[in-house]
Amino acid sequence: MPEEPEVETEKLHEAIKEEMEKEKAGGAFLRRIALTTAVLAALAAIASLLAGSTVNGALVRKAEVTQIQAEVSDQWAYFQAKGIKAAIERGSEATWTAQGKTPPPEIEAKARRYDEEQKDIETRAHEREKERDQRSHEAEILLHEHHSYANAVALFQVSIALGAVAALTRQRSVWIGSILVGLGGLVFLTRLLG
């Protein structure tokens, strides 16, 4: 009877065992990448919400600035109208005086009333201008915060992409790079929150 060929199974078992250990180690590595990527995605979502919130707040303030500016312009137009009315009354008074007549007392009273109304209008206009400037300043602060949050989001997105590359290539250095870029995003985020 012919002898059956001997198959060296011992080396085969060792090779299979080595591959299984590599797979277990690789699986743990992939789980770590997945975990850090999930954390980075959550941080990116938080930063994105905060970025959206701050830009919305800035837009609201800018809309208020526009409304207040319209009111200020109206106040100054009203101020000028009162000045014109006072000038007309004084012109009427001059006409009486030029004719050698005594002007009626209500003419001077109206001119003084318009002058007083002008002072009140001017005060209100200046108050509204201060409010407008304050709202504009608040909007600028919110826009600055928005840019920092947006930078954090961008860094988190880059770190997530690097995590995906690390998972595909199974390169630890790329994964560490992903973590470092994510920490950069965390710095932007915590600077604003802290």
Q: Who contacts 115 (Cβ-Cβ below 8 Å, separation ≥6)? A: 82, 86
Per-residue buried b or exposed e for 149-168, using 16+ beta carbons within 10 Å of the residue's own CB: bbbbbbbbbbbbebbeebbe
CA of residue 96 relative to chain centroid, distance: 63
Q: Locate the domains of the chain by residue range.
A: 41-193
Q: What is the pLDDT of residue 172?
A: 94
119 class by beta-carbon count within 10 Å (0-12 exposed, 13-18 middle, 19+ buried)? exposed
Is the CB of residue 82 less than 8 Å from the CB of residue 118?
yes
pTM: 0.71
Residue 12 pLDDT grade (very low, low, confident, very high; cuts 50, 70, 90): very low
Q: How many Cβ atoms sit within 10 Å of the Cβ of residue 179?
A: 19
d(CA 128, CA 47): 34
Tens digits of per-residue pLDDT, 61-106? 999 999 999 999 999 999 999 999 999 999 988 888 888 888 898 9
Which tokens hold the place of 132?
């407008």
Query: Within 13 Å and on the Cβ side, how many CA atoms surround 128?
Result: 19
Tens digits of per-residue pLDDT, 139-194? 999 999 999 999 999 999 999 999 999 999 999 999 999 999 999 999 989 988 87
Which tokens hold the place of 61?
């303030």
